[in-house]
């Protein structure tokens, strides 16, 4: 089946620094990638949708200047958390779908971000 990887799997950073998380589709071309955030004991919340070569579409309440998303190729999307603060500590998960659009979303293993 299709595989999506994320790097790093966990990261600890100081408040005020920026952190970049990579999401890669390993064996298929992902026309669309999604970024989700999951707080402890809660479900996944969609942050943004990114299509290759165009600007990401952010969900209501998600600061686009704080969570920078770049989908530069059909196999790579990056999420940069700028000027991270402790309240940004969360589990970030990406997913990807191929050209068929409404087919299965394949999820990455997630990245645990802890901001001190």
Partner 1 sequence: KQEVTQIPAALSVPEGENLVLNCSFTDSAIYNLQWFRQDPGKGLTSLLLIQSSQREQTSGRLNASLDKSSGRSTLYIAASQPGDSATYLCAVFWGKLQFGAGTQVVVTP
Comparison of 56 and 82: residue with beta carbon closer to partner 1: 56
Q: Which of residues 33-92 bind partner 1 (CB under 8 A)?
A: 34, 42-46, 49, 91
- Verify binding: residue 114, partner 1, rule CB under 8 A: no
SS3 content of the chain, % helix, strand, coil (to 5): 5, 50, 45
User: Exactly one of 21, 33, 95, 96 binds partner 1 (CB under 8 A); which one?
Assistant: 95
> How far apart are CB 43 and partner 1 at their closest, in Å?
4
Q: Is 105 a residue that touches partner 1 (CB under 8 A)?
A: yes
| Residues 77, 92: Cα–Cα separation, whole Å | 13
Place of tokens 């004991």: 41
- If DSSP codes are grouped into helix, strand and coil, which group holds residue 39? coil
Question: At closest approach, how far in Å is the CB of 49 from partner 1?
Answer: 7
**Which two structure tokens, joined as six digits, stand for 44?**
């996944």
Least distance CB 106 / partner 1 (angstroms): 7
- Residue pair 85/104 in contact by the 8 Å Cβ criterion: no
Q: Does 112 bind partner 1 (CB under 8 A)?
A: yes
């Amino acid at each position: 089946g299709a595989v999506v990887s994320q790097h790093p799997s966990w990261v600890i950073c100081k408040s005020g620094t920026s952190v970049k998380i990579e999401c890669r589709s390993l064996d298929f071309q992902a026309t669309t990638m999604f970024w989700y955030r999951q707080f402890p004991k809660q479900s996944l919340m969609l942050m943004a949708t990114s299509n290759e070569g165009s600007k990401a579409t952010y969900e209501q309440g998600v600061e686009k200047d704080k969570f920078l998303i770049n989908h530069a190729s059909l196999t790579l999307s990056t999420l940069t958390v700028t000027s991270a603060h402790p309240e940004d500590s969360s589990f970030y998960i990406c997913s990807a779908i191929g050209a068929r659009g409404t087919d299965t979303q394949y999820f990455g293993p997630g990245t645990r971000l802890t901001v001190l």
